[in-house]
């Protein structure tokens, strides 16, 4: 224990580092926790941008015949709102959790490829900037919807650079997602602590694994489509040029073959988070663990067989519509199984209404509504009246906002003490929840009705005699409640990260390994890699093999109990010397990932100027890769 | 606690009653106000699913809320029992949703087949067969017969009309192939008639939707989707494009005017007779302007546009020429709305539209392409707009032959010829032998620049540059060789009076007006021919 004490001393005496050094250390970091924080902060900033876009949309629609924004701007707004929320908000917040939590949950010191992990983040950032490049450069943002239906995306129907930014941005983001997903697949399969069999993995790790497999299988599909759009627009190919004989339906099949697994990419991390939060805050193990896990796997597979339910009205024929009706309805079964198991987990438990638990309950409440409205358009004849109306907008927001986003908030509050070492303000958290819960229902529920009474999607205004004004006004008021709730959230996070109470290792009486180490975890996570004997290793350490023995910790004095103080209390982020002093080898920082990522960004941005200019970016990229390959793995090898 | 729970018992039903109230009491294009068999089937299915969904909602959300409150942490509570699962329960709650879904899937599959274009037909036929031959094997679909026989029996008995819908950015073209009728943005159909729709698109993907009558069917370029609807009662129903199709997607609406059979026949006869109110005063000036300003290049006024012309207009759009497919304006003033159903047809709306179409419908092709909005020399003055409006409002039968209320008062005196069925498109005629007076080439030059309804110079250059029509450089020398047996003068005469008799390769047929026989005097004709023969 002497080395540990020394490490604490050194941590406390260390002089305050210079600002430049701090920035440099973040730029070159390969630590999964720091990369996770970068992901989280960046994604929340993008999330706010997309939220502001939504508020402008809601302001425009609050009244009939509104002229607040012109149609072109409106089309860019709804396109960018969807793209930003999906690819730059919800997905990367999920990835942030993969980074922050998965290695801790499986008892690993980092991910399998730390520099690749850094590359994922920096490529994500350049892809995000590229996707917003039309706005940043003033050349015009994408305006054909996030679904970008061909042949509307072709000349002469869409001119300008917007859709070029769309394809370039998403292509670059795809690189980031693929790199990250491969990294997590390898990490989860290879780097679990001894004893953690696949069926002992925490559900969140399972959902991460499934999501990662979906990412590496779904993104190649959209990549093909994006390259086709890009080539049609920039090099005059005819993939979607109907004048040259193309069928525009090809794009719809490509897009939704990617698009539906993408929906599960957005929701599965939230399902995983809720499967962690509910047991922890009910003080019970997850009910029906194998059923919850297999439901997730089944959803992952079935997600590939339902894409045509986005195309029930395109005229694929009775047989195709019937088949996709049945596959779509089947997918409701594993989803239902998950919900029943969460309720059964709470049954007989000891539920504490902390902020994360409230969000998890809110998630289930909203997700049920979203799931049920989903069943109403699994039926093609009913869907014929719902497709492309606000009813669909309502459904998708109940699932993606009421589902994914609320689930991710549960995770943010749940792991905030672990990541920052401090507690958030519980009252503000609860206020955030109730405002958000009220706001989201007020925003999205009236959309069901206004859709069924005939209001289509993607219209920039509507006539007063349509009778939709009341519903739209309600939605707008709700949207501003949501906006207000985010301000409370941001205030709470920023303030608590600096001034919150010390959280300690285990504020929630947690069940999984991350609660056995200090908050925030030291750079090397685990001073000693733990051995796992069950699905709830941290719980067992506290309450014994039965999980019921409240006095177990005091009475037992085996080596297992040491796991609870795995690593020096209060050491925070150690420098490399800390790890070294413990004899732990950690990877060195590297600036090559950001150079390679800049290569991607520059190549994309210059493509707009002229395709050949992107050779400059490609050169940077290739040189970066050489530098990366030639870089010694760690300082010792100099 | 007890008291709280019993109030809760009433909250949910009250909530749903409130929603139901909102649903049925709302709007004139509500899907809840189904006015035809297709929309009714779709609505029934919605209610079935909605009912089951409410049941599931109450049970599951109830269980969620109950267990959250029932098992909240009590002070001093110890560790709850660590239960890990229960296999029988798992099986039960896997099967239960499956049963609910089967309850939804069966009616869904039935409705899929009997509301689809082909399935609907087959089903109707089968019902008739059943009636005549009761021994026929009963299939899954037939099992529903007992409930639906009445409706479907009617369906097979009622008449059918075929309509081809062609969607354009951002307006609708409706063709009735059986009657040689083409109209735009207003679909007129008789009630209790099965309307078989063929959906085509000229440019991008659109979606055809009449909330009160039928759900959506998308319109995909390069393919034809088929669907159908029946309207139970006369009325005006709103329709719209439901698939995002570009900047004015919002402004792509239409009306379905459902009439009684006899009113529909009357309208049809009026259209086919194609007589219009008397054109006097302002309207007469408007008629001249309509041709002279080039409106006529895209908008036809006298019956359906031929498919060849439509195709050549479409090609012209993709080439970037200033010609595009435009809404057919035959009997325009009988419509209730204008600019693809976005505004009621009134003098002030029409005036505003002609002054600045971009204001009402951003991105529209008329603003983008028409010479009057792009060539300052041709720009419309206020007087000219007024004249055009006056003229357009004469495009209606001279008597009040249309039963649908239209906001337009009749303009000018109304003589009362009986509408009669006329041949909608003139037969291609053989050139009539003409004896023309001697022509004066100098006077002919003036005619070339000012002929009515549109001057020759609008489309034909004399210096070899390409226009909408072939250049007339050295036409005198080439005309001789065009058609065997016709001299240069005869060929030119034929080309002016019957432009479709010989069409130069690479140029569309039917674009050139066929009315010069009426609008030019013999002397003018002789002069312009004399002039053409002198061009080198």
- pLDDT of B477 reads 76
Distance in angstroms (rounded) separating the CA atoms of residues A407 and B231: 46
Inform me whether the pLDDT recorded for A344 exceeds 90: yes
Q: Cis peptide leading into A346, omega within 30 of 0? A: no
pLDDT band at B412 (very low <50, low <70, confident <90, very high): very low
| CA separation for the pair A24, A131 (Å, rounded) | 26
Residue of B61, B71, B97 with shortest CB distance to A347: B71
- Identify the three-state secondary structure at position A122: helix
Closest approach of B66 to chain A, Cα-based (Å): 9
Minimal CA–CA distance to B177: which of B159, B202, B158, B198?
Answer: B198
Query: What digits encode the pLDDT tens for the residues B152-190?
Result: 444 445 678 899 999 999 999 999 998 899 999 999 999
Asked if B54 and B104 touch (Cβ cutoff 8 Å), the reply is no
- Which residues of chain A lie closer than 8 angstroms to B242, CB-CB? 387-389, 456
**Catalytic one among A121, A122, A146, A289?**
A146
Kindly state the helix (H) or strand (E) to which residue A547 belongs, with its residue range.
none
Give the minimum alpha-carbon distance from B101 to chain A in angstroms, rounded to a whole number. Answer: 6
- The C-alpha R_g of chain A, in whole angstroms, comes to 25
ω before A591 within 30° of 0 (cis)? no
Mean per-residue pLDDT of chain B = 80
Say whether B250 and A149 touch across the interface (CB within 8 A): no
Between A451 and A561, whose confidence is greater?
A451
Please calculate the CA angle B2-B5-B6 and round it to the nearest 5 degrees: 90
Catalytic residue selected from A31, A110, A523, A578: A110
pLDDT tier for residue A268 given thresholds of 50, 70 and 90: very high
Map residue B259 onto helix, strand or coil.
strand
pLDDT confidence band for B121 (50 / 70 / 90): very low
Q: What is the CA radius of gyration of chain B?
A: 31
Give the helix ranges, DSSP H, for A453-468: none
Q: Tell me, yes or no, if B97 comes closer than 8 A to chain A by beta carbon.
A: yes
The residue among A31 and A637 whose pLDDT is bigger is A31
Question: What pLDDT sits at residue B468?
Answer: 67
Burial of A36 (0-12, 13-18, 19+ CB in 10 A): buried
Token pair for A257: 């073959």
Q: Is B29 on the interface with A (CB under 8 A)?
A: yes
Minimal CA–CA distance to A55: which of A630, A597, A487, A382? A487
Alpha helices in B133-227 (DSSP H): 145-157
| Per-residue pLDDT tens over the stretch B277-327 | 888 888 899 999 998 888 998 999 988 999 999 999 999 898 888 889 999
| Percent of chain B topping pLDDT 70 | 78
What is the structure's pLDDT at B416? 39
| Annotated catalytic residue A282 | no
pLDDT in the model for residue B462: 75
SS3 call for A545: coil
Query: Is the pTM value of this prediction over 0.90?
Result: no
Whether residue A348 has pLDDT greater than 50: yes
- The CA distance from B150 to A411, in Å, is 57
CA trace torsion B114, B117, B122, B123 (10° rounding): 20
User: Residue A112's Cα: distance from chain center in Å?
Assistant: 20
State the residue for tokens 């035809």. B36
Q: What value does the mean pLDDT take over residues A515-530?
A: 91
Predicted confidence (pLDDT) at residue A1 exceeds the cutoff of 50:
no
Segment A520-538 shows an average pLDDT of: 91
**Res B401: pLDDT:** 42
Residues A245 and B4: their CA atoms lie apart, in Å, by: 67
Chain A nearest-CA distance from B112, in A, is: 6
Q: The tokens 């990412």 sit on which residue?
A: A215
pLDDT interval class at A12 (50, 70, 90):
low
B172 SS3 class:
strand
Contacts of B118 in chain A (CB under 8 A): 318
Average pLDDT of chain A is: 91
Confidence of residue B444 (pLDDT cuts 50, 70, 90): confident
Residue owning tokens 């499967």:
A275
Ranges of each domain in chain A: 2-236+245-587
Facing residue for B22 by CB, picked from A372, A373, A449: A449
> Mean pLDDT throughout B130-147?
35
Q: Is A318 in contact with B82 (Cβ distance < 8 A)?
A: no
- Report the alpha-carbon distance of residue A279 to residue A281 in Å, rounded: 6
Cα(B416)–Cα(B160) distance, integer angstroms:
32
Predicted confidence at residue B18, as pLDDT, reads 66
Instruction: Quickly name the fold that domain A2-236+245-587 has.
Output: Cytochrome C Oxidase; Chain A (1.20.210)
Edge-to-edge strand ranges of the sheet holding B194-201: B181-184, B171-176, B160-168, B194-201, B225-230
Cβ atoms of residues A179 and A119 within 8 Å: yes
- Strands, sheet with B214-219, edge to edge from the N-terminal-most edge strand: B186-190, B253-259, B235-241, B206-210, B214-219
Residue B406 in this model has a pLDDT that exceeds 50 = no
Closest CB to A318 among B19, B32, B113: B113
Q: H-helix or E-strand containing A611?
A: none
Measure the CA dihedral A483/A488/A490/A496, to 10°.
-170
What pLDDT was estimated at residue B486? 78
Helix segments in B142-251, DSSP class H? 145-157
CA distance A525 to A188: 16
Q: What ipTM is given for this predicted complex?
A: 0.91
The fraction of chain A above a pLDDT of 70, given in percent, is 93
Q: What is the pLDDT of residues A627-636, one digit of tens each?
A: 999 988 665 5
Packed helices B522-534 and B475-482: angle between N→C axes, nearest 10 degrees: 110
State whether residue B1 is helix, strand or coil: coil
What's the pLDDT score for residue A6?
56
Residues 6+ apart with CB under 8 A from B235: B35, B258
pLDDT of residue A338: 96
B178, B144 contact by CB (below 8 A) = no
What confidence tens digit (pLDDT) does each residue in A173-221 have? Answer: 999 999 999 999 999 999 999 999 999 999 999 999 999 999 999 999 9
Contacts 24+ apart (CB under 8 A), A21-24: none
The percent of residues in chain A predicted with pLDDT above 90, rounded, is 82
Q: Give one DSSP letter per residue of A343-368, joined into a string.
A: HHHHTTS-B---HHHHHHHHHHHHHH
Entry field: residues in chain B = 536
Confirm if B338 and B349 have CB atoms less than 8 A apart.
Answer: yes
According to DSSP, residue A67 is labeled -
Which residues, in sequence order, are bridge partners of residue B230?
B194
Residue B105 has which token pair?
A: 């899937």
Q: On the CB side of A387, how many CA atoms lie within 13 Å of its CA?
A: 30
Mean pLDDT of A106-111: 94
User: How many contacts (CB atoms, under 8 Å) link A and B?
Assistant: 277
Are A384 and B42 inside 8 Å of each other by CB? yes
Cβ-contact B325, B317 below 8 angstroms: yes
Residues of A in contact with B43 (CB under 8 A): 385
Long-range contacts of A244-249 (CB under 8 A, 24+ apart): A245/B222, A246/A150, A246/A151, A246/B222, A247/B220, A247/B222, A247/B223, A248/A149, A248/A150, A248/A151, A248/B204, A248/B205, A248/B220, A248/B221, A248/B222, A249/A311, A249/A314, A249/B220, A249/B223
pLDDT above 50 for B364: yes
CA of B474: how far to CAs of A61, B37, B482, B487, B501, in Å?
A: 61, 64, 13, 15, 21
What is the per-residue pLDDT across A561-589, written as a single tens digit (0 to 9) for each?
A: 344 444 444 444 444 446 667 778 888 89
Q: Is the pLDDT of residue B426 over 80?
A: no
Q: What is the pLDDT of residue B146?
A: 36
């Amino acid at each position: 224990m002497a080395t540990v004490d020394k490490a604490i001393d050194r941590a406390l005496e260390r002089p305050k580092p210079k600002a430049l050094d701090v920035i440099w250390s973040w730029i070159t970091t390969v630590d999964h926790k720091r990369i996770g924080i970068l992901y989280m902060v960046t994604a929340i900033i993008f999330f706010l941008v997309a939220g502001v876009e939504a508020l402008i949309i809601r302001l425009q629609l609050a009244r009939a015949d509104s002229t607040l924004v012109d149609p072109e701007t409106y089309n860019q707004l709804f396109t960018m709102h969807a793209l930003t929320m999906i690819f730059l908000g919800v997905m990367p917040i999920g990835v942030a959790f993969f980074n922050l939590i998965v290695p801790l949950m499986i008892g690993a010191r980092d991910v399998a490829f730390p520099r690749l992990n850094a590359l994922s983040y920096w490529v994500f950032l350049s892809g995000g900037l590229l996707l917003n490049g039309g706005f940043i450069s003033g050349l015009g943002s994408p305006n054909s919807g996030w679904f970008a239906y061909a042949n509307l995306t072709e000349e002469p129907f869409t001119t300008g650079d917007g859709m070029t930014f769309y394809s370039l941005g998403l292509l670059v983001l795809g690189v980031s997602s693929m790199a990250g997903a491969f990294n997590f697949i390898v990490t989860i399969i290879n780097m679990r602590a001894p004893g953690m069999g696949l069926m002992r993995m925490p559900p969140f790790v399972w959902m991460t694994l499934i999501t990662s497999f979906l990412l590496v299988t779904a993104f190649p599909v959209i990549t093909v489509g994006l390259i086709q759009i890009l080539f049609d627009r920039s090099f005059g190919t005819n993939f979607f040029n109907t004048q040259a004989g193309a069928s525009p339906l090809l794009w719809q099949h490509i897009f939704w073959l990617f698009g539906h697994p993408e929906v599960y990419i957005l929701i599965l991390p939230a399902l995983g988070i809720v499967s962690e939060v509910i047991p922890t805050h009910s003080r019970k193990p997850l009910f029906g663990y194998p059923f919850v896990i297999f439901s997730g796997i089944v959803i992952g597979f079935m997600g590939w067989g339902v894409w045509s339910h986005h195309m029930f009205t395109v005229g694929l024929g009775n047989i195709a519509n019937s088949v996709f009706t049945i596959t779509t309805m089947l997918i409701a079964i594993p989803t239902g199984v998950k919900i029943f198991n969460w309720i059964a987990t709470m049954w007989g438990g000891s539920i504490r209404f902390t902020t994360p638990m409230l969000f998890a309950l809110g998630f289930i409440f909203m997700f049920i509504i979203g799931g049920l409205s989903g069943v109403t358009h699994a039926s093609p004849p009913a869907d014929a009246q719902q497709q492309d109306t606000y009813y669909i907008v309502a459904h998708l927001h109940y699932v993606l906002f009421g589902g994914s986003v609320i689930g991710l908030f549960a995770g943010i509050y749940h792991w905030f003490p672990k990541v920052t070492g401090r507690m958030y303000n519980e009252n503000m958290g609860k206020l955030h929840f109730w405002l958000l819960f009220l706001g989201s229902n007020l925003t999205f529920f009236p959309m069901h009705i206004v859709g069924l009474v005939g209001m289509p999607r993607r219209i920039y205004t509507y006539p007063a005699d349509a009778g939709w004004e009341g519903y739209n006004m309600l939605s707008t008021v709700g949207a501003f409640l949501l906006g207000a709730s985010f301000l409370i959230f941001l205030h709470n996070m920023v303030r608590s990260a600096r001034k919150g109470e010390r959280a300690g290792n285990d504020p929630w009486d947690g069940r999984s390994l991350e609660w056995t180490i200090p908050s925030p975890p030291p750079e090397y996570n685990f001073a000693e890699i733990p051995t796992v004997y069950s699905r709830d290793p941290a719980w067992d350490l506290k309450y014994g093999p039965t999980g019921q023995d409240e006095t177990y910790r005091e009475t037992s004095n085996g080596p297992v109990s040491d796991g609870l103080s795995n690593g020096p209390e209060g050491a925070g982020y150690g420098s490399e010397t800390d790890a070294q002093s413990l004899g732990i080898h950690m990877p060195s920082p590297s600036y090559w990932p950001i150079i390679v990522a800049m290569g991607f960004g520059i190549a994309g941005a210059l493509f707009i100027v002229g395709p050949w200019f992107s050779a400059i970016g490609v050169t940077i990229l290739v040189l970066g890769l050489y530098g990366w390959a030639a870089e010694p793995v760690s300082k010792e090898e100099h | 606690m007890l008291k709280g729970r019993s109030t809760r018992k009433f909250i949910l039903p009250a909530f749903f009653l409130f929603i139901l109230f909102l649903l049925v009491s709302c709007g004139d294009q509500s899907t809840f106000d189904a006015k035809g068999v297709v929309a009714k089937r779709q609505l029934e299915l919605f209610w079935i699913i909605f009912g089951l969904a409410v049941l599931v909602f109450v049970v599951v959300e109830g269980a969620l809320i109950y267990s959250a409150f029932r098992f909240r942490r009590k002070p001093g509570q110890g560790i709850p029992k660590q239960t890990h699962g229960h296999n029988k329960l798992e099986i039960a709650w896997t099967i239960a949703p499956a049963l609910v879904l089967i309850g939804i899937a069966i009616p869904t599959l039935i409705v899929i087949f009997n509301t689809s274009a082909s399935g609907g037909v087959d089903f109707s036929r089968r019902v008739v067969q059943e009636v005549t031959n009761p021994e026929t094997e009963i299939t899954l679909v037939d099992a529903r017969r007992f409930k639906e026989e009445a409706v479907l029996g009617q369906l097979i008995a009622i008449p059918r009309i075929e309509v081809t819908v062609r969607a354009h950015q951002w307006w609708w073209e409706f063709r009735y192939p059986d009657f040689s009728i083409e109209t735009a943005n207003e679909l007129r159909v008789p009630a209790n008639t099965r309307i078989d729709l063929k959906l085509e698109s000229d440019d991008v993907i659109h979606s055809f939707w009449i909330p009160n009558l039928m759900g959506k069917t998308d319109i995909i370029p390069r393919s034809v989707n088929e669907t159908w609807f029946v309207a139970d009662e006369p009325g005006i129903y709103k329709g719209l494009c439901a698939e995002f199709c570009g900047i004015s997607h919002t402004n792509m609406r239409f009306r379905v005017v459902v009439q009684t059979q006899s009113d529909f026949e009357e309208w049809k006869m009026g259209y086919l007779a194609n007589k219009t109110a008397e054109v006097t005063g302002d309207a007469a000036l408007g008629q001249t302007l309509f041709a002279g300003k080039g409106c006529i290049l895209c908008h036809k006024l006298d019956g359906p546009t031929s498919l060849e012309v439509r195709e050549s207009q479409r090609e012209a759009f993709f080439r970037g020429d200033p010609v595009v497919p435009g809404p057919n304006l035959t009997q325009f003033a009988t419509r209730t709305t204008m600019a693809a159903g976005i505004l009621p047809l009134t003098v002030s709306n029409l005036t505003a539209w002609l002054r600045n179409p971009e204001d009402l419908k951003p991105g529209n092709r008329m603003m983008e392409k028409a010479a009057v909005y792009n060539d300052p020399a041709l720009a419309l003055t206020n007087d000219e707009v007024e004249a055009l409006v006056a003229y357009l409002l004469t495009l209606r039968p001279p008597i009040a032959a249309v039963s649908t209320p239209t906001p337009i008062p009749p303009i000018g005196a109304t003589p009362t010829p009986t509408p009669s069925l006329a041949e909608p498109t003139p037969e291609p005629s053989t050139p009539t032998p003409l004896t023309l007076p001697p022509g004066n080439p100098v006077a002919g030059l003036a005619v070339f620049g000012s002929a009515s309804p549109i001057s020759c110079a609008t489309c034909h250059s004399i210096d070899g540059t390409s226009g909408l029509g072939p250049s007339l450089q050295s036409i005198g020398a080439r005309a001789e060789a065009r058609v065997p047996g016709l001299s240069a003068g005869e060929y030119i005469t034929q080309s002016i009076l019957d432009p479709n008799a010989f069409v130069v390769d690479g140029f569309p047929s039917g674009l050139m007006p066929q009315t010069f026989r009426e609008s030019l005097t013999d002397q003018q004709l002789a002069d312009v021919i004399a002039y053409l023969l002198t061009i080198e």
